Structure 1
């Protein structure tokens, strides 16, 4: 029997789930404009473990969203996951954020393209088929009216880019599943369990989130 703690903090959604043998048994999450991850994450971790009726020592692994996504959000999630893995001596599992998002679509045909906002008209995107097999790896790209025009199948877009995406992605085979906005830790459960069974884990000491673009800090211009 395996209990895996799943942590998803790559977007505005601070999300934590406990899974038993790949099935989510409890999830707590909140999506706020102000990114409340630092305040909420450890509270959610303690609550899902307690409410699941287990102790932290019962965890067999910790899974964390590896990005792409918010620099600060990813750092908070990965730091928490690493700390637990060190303390409990359990493996760390890294899960592709866009795969987690795509898996929430649950379609039987066509393509799934998860997109996360990367400012202005730029997005982080990846292309999957309905079986969640990768058909094009993660890219940071600027979307316009020609984007994904070479795909004739139905495309299901998920993520927080629907509002700006719909202004340029207007072809008849483009469908926006606007109810799927953020990746959820609940959707990580099957993915992380599959990785756990295959011993597909990462080095706790050296693992770094997948930011995709270099993080840049800006300072106000001097007057």
Structure 2
């Protein structure tokens, strides 16, 4: 386990936190998406001060790298890369949809009984989404999907388990979705899920290239992905 700094500015609420192993030492959140850039650096300084730590003491930095807000992703990754480059620390890139799914999974008493579909609003009738089991195994690959496309419901039918939807794209799907074994949940806050994933990445040395890393836009950030039968 490691002392890790976590940065998440991918979606509406930004969160900066510091964790030692599975213990969150300090965290700050910010709900004004347009001012995430001005929030990040002071927040990093504040949580380090609260935890009584110096930036040089951290073992690495994780960043929620997308999908999400284009500006938020660039700001978050740029901040993480700058610190990693200066201090020669490892960089961990995490999929935002996986972080969201892990938040819900950690909140379930019997997580194996459900499937998990995080949704991020991608404007108009598009959402960034994926479908995971309780171990974050992919049943639908992350991408940008049209909610009103006839083929969209295919991965969410004929399942033995209830599928739960959550995130900023959930409401517009809930308005038009057909009947199914679905639930719609509020997404918990906090950074425990990001820390759990980042600690696993750190232990496995799954580090990103600081110089060449880019946000995880996915190709479908520009063109709508097509759902393949059998996913």
With structure 2 as the length reference, what TM-score do the two structures score? 0.86
Aligned residue number for residue 206 of structure 2: 200
- Secondary structure of the residue aligned to 2:165 is strand
How many Å separate the matches in 1 of 2:139 and 2:48?
36
CA RMSD, Structure 1 to Structure 2 (Å): 1.9
* Residues 1-223 of structure 1: pairs in structure 2 closer than 5 A: 2-32=2-32, 34-106=33-105, 107=108, 108=111, 109-144=113-148, 147=153, 148-177=156-185, 179-180=186-187, 185-212=191-218, 213-214=221-222
Gaps of 5+ in 1: 216-223
Aligned length: 212
More displaced, 43-52 or 183-192?
183-192
Deviation, 1:152, is 4.2
Deviation, 1:134, is 2.1
Report the structure, 1 or 2, having the larger helix content: 2
Q: Is the 8 A contact 1:92 1:202 kept in 2?
A: yes
- Secondary structure of the residue aligned to 1:68 is coil
How many Å separate the matches in 2 of 1:93 and 1:209?
12
Gaps of 5+ in 2: 224-231
- Secondary structure of the residue aligned to 1:27 is strand
How many Å separate the matches in 1 of 2:48 and 2:173?
38
